[in-house]
Structure formats: C-alpha cells, structure tokens
Amino acid sequence: MYDGGKIIAGLIIGIGLLMSPFFYNAGKAAKEPERALTDKAKQAKQCVMDKAYMTSSHFSLLDEWRHTVVRDGERYYKRADGKVFYKSLQVTCMDCHSNKANFCDQCHNYMAVTPYCWDCHIAPEEKK
C-alpha cells in the first residue's frame, strides 16, 4: 500500500472531526426541563389517565378524543374512578394545564415537536 501511514492518519483525523460534536457534548446532555403544575392541576392531583400514560401517549389520547368527538359525537370521557370529563383540548386539558408555555411547550421544545393544533385551537395565553 502506498502512503499507508498518511491514509491512516487522514482517516483518524477525519473520523475525529466527524465525531467531534459527540466528544464536545459528552457528559453534558441537555437536562430535561422540569414541568410546573398549575395550582388547579396540583389540587386535582391526577390527570385524565395515569401519569406514565400521559407522559408517553397524551397525543394518542388527544387523537382519540378528537376522532370520537368530531366524528362520533361522543363528548364525554369517564376516568376509571368514575370522574367524567368533557373531551376537549382547549376547554379541559388547558384548563388544568393553563401554563402551556411552562408545561406543554417546554417539553415539546426539548423534544423538538411542534403540534399544529394551535393554528385553530385557542391557547390559554391568548385568553387574557
């Protein structure tokens, strides 16, 4: 092999450059933001489903609500313990989570998700 050393050195430098962002960020992974609960939510203690489900799958629940409300006209949801909720993003979810910026948005920014729902649904900030 001609110029083997140079090629290997070049490869090492090249791979090193390629990996540099990983080395640069090593050990300082962006911390997941803390989520604040409103007083209303604190008082309610529980979400419409258990927390683990909400954290991992709230968008599936919202999709379910959207489908059943708009397409099937089923407007009420009953939690396992019997409490009934009016199935609405803007009226129900955002009533407890009226701190959208510190709750939904903060996590979405961290996760790089931008739901388009607010093109139409009115966010609580706009309420006042």
Partner 1 sequence: MGIDRRAFLKIAGLSTMLGLGGKAALDVFAPGEVEASTKGVPLTAGKRWAMGIDVRLLDDKVISEATAACHRHHNVPDLASAKEEIKWIWEEDYEHSFPGHQHEYVGDDIKHAKFLLLCNHCSNPPCCRVCPTKATWQRPDGIVMMDPHRCIGCRFCMAACPFGARSFNWGDPRRVTRIPELIAKNPGFPFNKDYPTRSKGVVEKCTFCVDLLEKGEQPLCVTAANKIKKGSFTFGDLSDAESSIRVLLRKRYSLRRKSELGTNPNVFYLI
Residue ranges binding partner 1 (CB under 8 A)? 60, 64, 66-68, 70-78, 80, 82-84, 88, 90-91, 116, 119-122, 126-127
The answer to whether the beta carbons of residues 83 and 17 sit under 8 Å apart is no
Residue 11 to residue 17: CA distance in whole angstroms: 10
The answer to whether the beta carbons of residues 62 and 89 sit under 8 Å apart is yes
- Residue with smaller CB distance to ligand HEC, 3 or 126: 126
Residue 60 to residue 88: CA distance in whole angstroms: 14
Residue 59 in contact with ligand HEC, rule: CB under 6 A: yes
The answer to whether the beta carbons of residues 67 and 60 sit under 8 Å apart is no
Residue 10 in contact with ligand HEC, rule: CB under 6 A: no
Any idea which residue has 């900030």 for tokens?
Answer: 125
- Partner whose binding site includes residue 84, from partner 1, ligand HEC, none (CB under 5 to 8 Å by kind): partner 1
One of 93, 98, 99, 124 touching ligand HEC (CB under 6 A): 93
Least separation in angstroms between residue 31's CB and ligand HEC is 13
- Listed residue (97, 87, 46, 84) closest to 63, CA to CA: 87
Q: Which residues contact ligand HEC (rule: CB under 6 A)?
A: 35, 37, 41, 44-48, 51, 54-55, 58-59, 61-62, 65-66, 69-70, 87-93, 96-97, 103-104, 107-108, 111, 113, 115-117, 119-121
